[in-house]
Structure 1
């Protein structure tokens, strides 16, 4: 699952949002790293709806414009949970390997040659 898809699902995890609300929430969740354009978002929402991960909810007219809300389905919530677990496991493994690296570097290891200059 690509990061923007993950973030769209995460933005809908705590309740329905209209398109612009999803765009703002994705930007908030990603600390401004991911900024979705409206066309990109609506294409993603159409694809996610076709996959059964989100569904269109209610619609309302605001200032003469139609505002459509989207919500996470149970299938979407399960996919988000699975992806969250996978990312958490990957991050834990990366952290473990970085700790090993830091311990090795502080113990006189050289990343190119191994311990104390010997060839690895």
Structure 2
């Protein structure tokens, strides 16, 4: 899985509400059927936070877990990426023709 894919998955699950790392990975597994490796997950979280697309939740931490939330910029980025993916998917399906 590419780092951009991991970042998109993280943004997608955080769009539903704040989560900590383990819960993010559980939500990704429910969505895709597989978990991200620790390097992929925490690398994605680090890059997204550096780009200010996610930030620590106002309610800070649940014990040792750091809860993250999507920012307005993260929502805008996710929407733009998903709209582009939808256009590409529709074009590909048209090109393939009927199943």
When the two structures are superposed, what TM-score results if normalisation uses the length of structure 1? 0.73
In terms of Rg, which structure is larger?
1
Aligned to 1:22: 24
Task: Give unpaired runs (5+ residues) of structure 2.
Answer: none
SS in 1 for 2:13: helix
Q: Displacement of 1:3 after TM fit?
A: 1.5
* Deviation sequence 1:29-65 (CA, Å, 0-9, x none): 11x1x4212233122111110101000112121xxxx
More helix as a share of residues? 2
**Which consecutive segments of 4 or more residues in structure 1 shift more than 3 A?**
none
Task: Give unpaired runs (5+ residues) of structure 1.
Answer: 103-120
Q: Displacement of 1:73 after TM fit?
A: 0.3
Contact 1:19 1:38 in 2 (8 A): no
Aligned to 1:90: 88
Q: Does 1:6 align with 2:8?
A: yes
Aligned to 1:67: 65
- Aligned-residue CA RMSD in angstroms? 1.4
The whole-number CA distance in structure 1 between the counterparts of 2:85 and 2:40 is 23
The whole-number CA distance in structure 2 between the counterparts of 1:25 and 1:6 is 13
